[in-house]
Amino acid sequence: MKGLVKKVVLADSLAVFVSMLQDQTTFVGTWVLALSYTFQLYFDFSGYSDMAIGIGRWFGFDIPKNFNHPYIADSVQNFWRRWHISLSTWFRDYVYIPLGGSRVDVPLIVRNIVIVWVLTGIWHGANATYIVWGVYYALLLLGERFFFKPVLARIPRPVRIVLIFLIANAGWVFFAAPSISQAFVRLGCMSGIASGFADTQALFALGQAKWLLLFSMIASTPAIDTVQNWIFARFGRNGMVGLAGVYCVLFAACISLLVASTSQTFLYAAF
């Protein structure tokens, strides 16, 4: 049920703003676009994975968790231990470790990480934007491993979480953009370089999306699971019955959206 809500209610609602703002070149517009895509991608794919796990259990299969709240990661390495866990594990076990992993000299460690992340980019598609995205993470992981880890350790954890989220958000710009040049244009606009602050469309989108984006931020953390577990512990059977009623309402809302044809195809199916 959670997976269906993530996909139909959250991801598909965010997709409206992603589609609306494709031509934005203002500071506000490109930030709303980037954040909408960042959360759309997460809820689309984690929702898909949650549904696969649930359906698998119907048939007696225990499918491992594929996402573990990646947007609360406090390092780049930790992010990739939480995002698309099955893919990260596969590349670790079948590419990185057979190449020697971290048990080799530093130049070979650099080679291994670059190879893994270039291949990870190619795995997502033949577009050059995915290769640049792979190189982006290779450089980040190398920098974190050899230079920045002591610096990160001195930064308060909440600040690290925000920093890693912004790094991930910038990386997804390459996923959303149709070309490398367009990706860099959007990143430039997000930094305030050669762009206006906002236009009518950007302000309209911000006004419409602000509460959805805020809820998406909350829903991407363990907060909802924590509240649900507290209700179970505090109210026992009555709490379970109450939550079951909430899920029934959400299920009805999802069916209504599906029937109304407001749902979108799975975004991650393109990769």
Q: Which residues are catalytic?
A: 124
Type of residue numbered 234: R
Contact 257, 7 (CB under 8 A): no
- Both tokens of 131, joined, read 């290769």
Residue 150's CB is within 10 A of a number of other CB atoms, namely 7
Category of 93 on φ-ψ map: left (φ > 0), alpha (ψ -120 to 50) or beta: alpha
What is the rounded distance in angstroms from the CA atom of residue 214 to the CA atom of residue 39? 10
Q: Residues for the chain: how many in total?
A: 271
| DSSP class of 75 | S
User: Mapping DSSP to helix (H, G, I), strand (E, B) and coil, where does residue 153 land?
Assistant: helix
- Both tokens of 247, joined, read 């899920």
What is the rounded distance in angstroms from the CA atom of residue 162 to the CA atom of residue 146? 21
Residue 64's CB is within 10 A of a number of other CB atoms, namely 10
What is the rounded distance in angstroms from the CA atom of residue 32 to the CA atom of residue 75? 24
What is the rounded distance in angstroms from the CA atom of residue 255 to the CA atom of residue 66? 25
Contact 171, 124 (CB under 8 A): no
Contact 155, 163 (CB under 8 A): yes
Residue 212's CB is within 10 A of a number of other CB atoms, namely 18
